[in-house]
Amino acid sequence: MPTLRFAGLRPELDRIVEAPAGGQLVDICDALQAPVPFSCRAASCGTCVVRVLEGAEHLVRPNDDEAVLLALMGQSESCRLACQAEVRAGPGRVHLQALGSEGGRAREGRGA
C-alpha cells in the first residue's frame, strides 16, 4: 500500500496518507487537503508542479501532455504535475514537495 507524504512549509504541516489502491494524485490531494495548489487541472498551467523527493518508481510515467508542459517549464526530471500524476497500487513510499508558485526553485535543481 503506497504511503504518500506531502511536505508542508514546516514539518508540522506535512500530510501523510495511505493510498492502498493508488489512483490519481489530484484526487488523493483533494481528499487529504494536501498542500498542493491547483488551477487548471488539465496540464496547461503548471500550478501544481511537485518535486518527487522519494518514490518516483511508484508513479506511472508522465503522459504526453504532462511531459510537454514540464519540458516547456524547464523542470527537472524529478518534477511532476499533481493534476496528471497517477500513483501505482502496491507497497511503497512517495514523498512530494509542492513547488507551485515557487516553480523557479524546481529549475534550480535541473541536471543535478
| Cα 54 to Cα 39, 47, 68, 96, 97, distances in angstroms | 25, 21, 23, 7, 10
pTM: 0.84
The tally of domains found in the chain comes to 1
**What would the pLDDT profile of 28-49 be if each residue is shown by its tens digit?**
999 888 889 999 999 999 999 9
Residue 45 included in any domain? yes
Do 98 and 35 form a contact (C-beta atoms < 8 A)? yes
Distance separating alpha carbons of residues 3 and 15, to the nearest angstrom:
10
Q: What per-residue confidence (pLDDT) applies to 103?
A: 41
Residue 50, domain CATH = 3.10.20
Q: What domain range includes position 48?
A: 30-88
**What would the pLDDT profile of 99-112 be if each residue is shown by its tens digit?**
965 543 333 343 33
Reported as a pLDDT band with limits 50, 70 and 90, residue 20 is confident
Residue 60 included in any domain? yes
Residue 74 included in any domain? yes
